[in-house]
Structure 1
Amino acid sequence: MFRFLSIPVFLIASLSDGSHAAEWPSWRGPNGNGVANGSGYATEWSADSNITWKHAITGIGASTPAVTNGRIFYTSTHNGKNLVTCIGMDGKQIWQHNFGKSLEGKQGKDGTGANPSPLTDGERVFVYFKSGDFGCFNLAGDLVWQTNVFDRFAEVTTETLWWDLGTSPVFTSNAIVITMMHTGPSYLAAFNPADGELLWKHDRKTDAPREAAQSYTTPVVTTNPDGKEVIVVTGADYVTCHDASDGAELWRVGSLNPEHNEYFRSISSSVATDGIVIAPYARGGTLTAIKMGGTGNVTDSHVLWTNKGTSADVPTPTVANARVFVLRDVKNDRGTIDCLDLKTGKTIWSGQLEKHRMTFRASPILADGKLYVTRQDGAVFVIDAMADEFKVISKNEIGGEHTVATPVFVDGKILLRTQEHIYLIAE
């Protein structure tokens, strides 16, 4: 059986009583696939209704908050410093700490020095910034350890991505893993959560040209058909699978850029379910389904299907109930949602949201049978995800505050982070 490992295995037993509905440990949620636990989430709200509170954010950032034990963690940059902030489920600040000198964003409102999302194991919170500062606090706000990956790895002396660091750290069963894919030495690195000790570092080599070598994706932790815990990485024209114990490459698919387009940087991450990896690529030009397993280059044997009719450039797809939900964000297709059959890639339904000058940067979340889709101006559309046709349930607005962060769903409550506030939405 294939399983997700977005929560470390040492926490799974403690969450078996159902308390996991109140946990959002990482960017893509408790299941690592953009699917929330729990039910009873609001489908209608406005600036004047179903808003329990709003918390004013210090500084600027685009990371998705993490939630555990009634505490919400978010990152930002302010006055030249990285910031880590903890607030309660009442919206009140519990603690806030500086965490190194910030490296600010290049891409207007969408790019900041605090794009990577925090990660929590229920006892600690782990944070990562564009400056390379990476480390750990306990829930009380005490610094446990801190390092800077650019200083630590001598071959990478400066952050060389063309745009802003977007990848978030992920858990394996005994480590925290980060990736760096850019024009220069690219790698995966695993750290001990307890003390930040480097457990292993593995170079990731491809033949991607120019900007195509640049990647902003987050890895996926899952299992191979043989039960081995693995890390799937998408970017620099390939999907690669690595042994979680030492980072060694097991198999790869690609090139996803056969014409060697120099500008195929990748932002949208892959997602895995039921032994299948769904990989967006080509700046929203292709969507590829890969059967996990094999050894070496498995492009000819393990690609199940490639769909050139739908994909995403920035939002990561969501998968549930043998369906793939793709939010298009490119050119004239902006705001189109496609529901595909996981095994075949064939369209079950497709629909167009209202046309608007704003696009979509946040990734869709499926909660209680509904797909929540967030536009840059903070408008959230709720779609019936289980229907056999495109059906919009509601459109919800709170005043036009800019957002690129993916919303969080915990215990019947929605946390929406905008550039200015965190809102708690509940009926």
Structure 2
Amino acid sequence: MLLNLARCLAMVLAICAVNILHAEDWPQFRGGNGDGISTECGLPSEWGAEVDGKQQNVAWKLEIPGKGWSSPVLWHGKLYLTSAVPREGAEEGSGDLSLRAMCVDAKTGLMLWDNEIFVQDGKTAPKIHAKNSHASPTPLVDSNRVFVHFGHQGTACLDLDGKILWSTRELSYAPVHGNGCTPVLVDGGIVFSCDGGKDPFVVALEADTGKIKWKFARPGEPKKTFAFCTPTVISVNGKQQVISVGAGIVNALDPNTGEDIWHVKHGGYSVIPKPLFAHGLVYISTSYDSPMVMAIRPDGRGDVTESHVEWTLKKGAPHTPSLLILGKELYMVSDSGVATCVDALTGEQHWQERIGGNYSSSLVYADDKIYLQSEAGKAYVLKPGTTFEKPIETGFTTERNLSSYAVGDGALFIRTEKNLYRVQQPK
């Protein structure tokens, strides 16, 4: 055991040494690999408390106009996010909004640009859930482009200075509770789901033009058809698959054609947690009404519901926060604040503890810490392992928070209802 600990320490030190030379980016929802894991080191375990008239470990704070629950992303020293801002002269509560993309200097907190992408007409805009916003999908950065998505309101591609390269509002569907799914980039296309009130589908747009590359109609007739799940791209036997979870079904799609490779039926809807891939298994949560975590082998064809589900788990499964896998351990937190660690290969429980609070944000790992963010603003910093240790309680405890963290450049970037923060150890 001591030898294993020594090896782990050596690996962490090596990763940290690399990061000193190259700051890590966080270019999409849940980071570079889409799994919530960062190799950043030297991050704080506490922040936000008043110390000598200043907020502890806060390098800067920037007020963000409007409302948006999109998580920030980091690319080459710049942060990108979206927001829905009341239009100038619009009556309060009219729903007339400017749907905007923003860029912030990660070092200084200076707003570099703030550009309108679409206009929302309040008379025709569908109602949204009280926990949602009109700017909830997270931006996606690819080299010299940033993609912003507002669900049924439209999708656009910008250059890194905020100039619109293309935009489209061609995809029309009736959302339930608003937008939520964030696109992923694969094989020259951006892929996202349009799981609305009826006729749900998954679509790929050509990244260079915004034109439709393919559309996949979800099969089956679930009682409720809507979902908000961000896809995950995996590789199985040298071939890529897009894992997209909808109401009543999870589909593995060919990224070039949209063809269904395999699918597993489930009983959930309003699915939110992003799938994970590790140990040769796809991990999903089925969300409402009774969430279930499922581990699925992705090497089948057609309907593999009866043949490829390795294990399932109900107790402690989340409706909203995405899962986290570290080594052979799978971590999760339920919406009602129950944290759980299980064996990722078998689903066998190591521990389960109520830590308090309600949760929408996804789990993040960095610097040998698991970061959890409650909706009320309090954060919890948990030590990973098969034995539970009481977490550190910290955070911006007076600010509502439904976004997930971005990690990079030696810092945590935290978006609350009103503000964006850079949190780091003093230098």
TM-score when normalising by structure 2: 0.87
2:235 and 2:213 mapped to 1: Cα distance?
20
Evaluate the alpha carbon distance shift between residue 58 and residue 247 of structure 1 in structure 2; reply closer, same or farther with a 3 A threshold. same
Residues 34-49 of structure 1 aligned to structure 2 (within 5 Å)? 34-47=36-49, 48-49=55-56
Offset at residue 346 of structure 1 (A): 0.5
Out of 148, 151, 164, the residue aligned to residue 143 of structure 1 is 164
Q: Does 1:115 align with 2:139?
A: no
What is the deviation of 1:69?
Answer: 1.1
1:243-275 Cα distance to aligned partner (Å, 9 max, x none): 111110000111x12xxxxx8432223222232
- Measured in 1, the distance between the counterparts of 2:193 and 2:23 equals 28
Distance 1:72 1:305, change over 3 A: same
Cα separation, 2, equivalents of 1:135 and 1:282: 29
Larger radius of gyration: 2
- Counterpart of 2:233, as a letter, is V
| 2:279 equivalent to 1:274 | yes
Match of 2:109 among 71, 91, 94: 91
1:173–1:130: structure 2 CA closer, same or farther, 3 Å change rule? Answer: closer
Say if 2:73 and 2:140, in contact at 8 Å, map to a contact too: yes
Q: Distance in 1 between matches of 2:152 and 2:247?
A: 22
State how far apart, in whole Å, the 2-side matches of 1:185 and 1:92 are: 43
Question: Is the CA contact (8 Å cut-off) linking 1:126 and 1:134 kept in structure 2?
Answer: yes
The worse-fitting range, judged by mean Cα deviation, of 287-296 and 392-401 is 392-401
1:205 aligned partner:
219
Q: Which residue of 1 aligns with 2:249?
A: 238
CA RMSD of aligned residues (A): 1.7
Mark the runs of 5 or more structure 1 residues left unpaired by the alignment: 1-16, 258-262
SS at match of 1:415: strand
Instruction: Choose the corresponding residue for 2:258, options 241, 247, 256.
Output: 247
Q: Which residue of 2 aligns with 1:426?
A: 424
1:289 maps to which residue? 295
Q: Where does residue 366 of structure 2 map in the other structure?
A: 367
C-alpha separation in 1, matches of 2:349 and 2:22: 32
Distance 1:35 1:104, change over 3 A: farther
Q: Which amino acid is the alignment partner of residue 333 of structure 2?
A: L
5+ long unaligned stretches in structure 2 = 1-17, 50-54, 87-96
Deviation of 1:20 (Å): 6.9
Say which is worse superposed, 320-329 or 179-188, in terms of deviation.
Answer: 179-188
State the AA in 2 paired with 1:268. P
**Which residue in 2 is equivalent to 1:343?**
345
Distance 1:105 1:81 in 2: 16
Number of matched pairs: 386
Cα distance, 1:419 vs structure 2: 0.7
Other-structure match for 2:401: 403
Report the TM-score, using the length of structure 1 for normalisation: 0.87
Per-residue deviation, 1:131? 4.4
Residues 1:220 and 2:218 are matched in the alignment: no
Q: Which residue of structure 1 aligns with residue 205 of structure 2?
A: 191
C-alpha change, 1:185 and 1:276, in structure 2 (3 Å) is: same
Q: Which residue of 2 aligns with 1:5?
A: none
Identity rate, percent: 26
The 5 A counterparts of 1:7-22 are 21-22=23-24
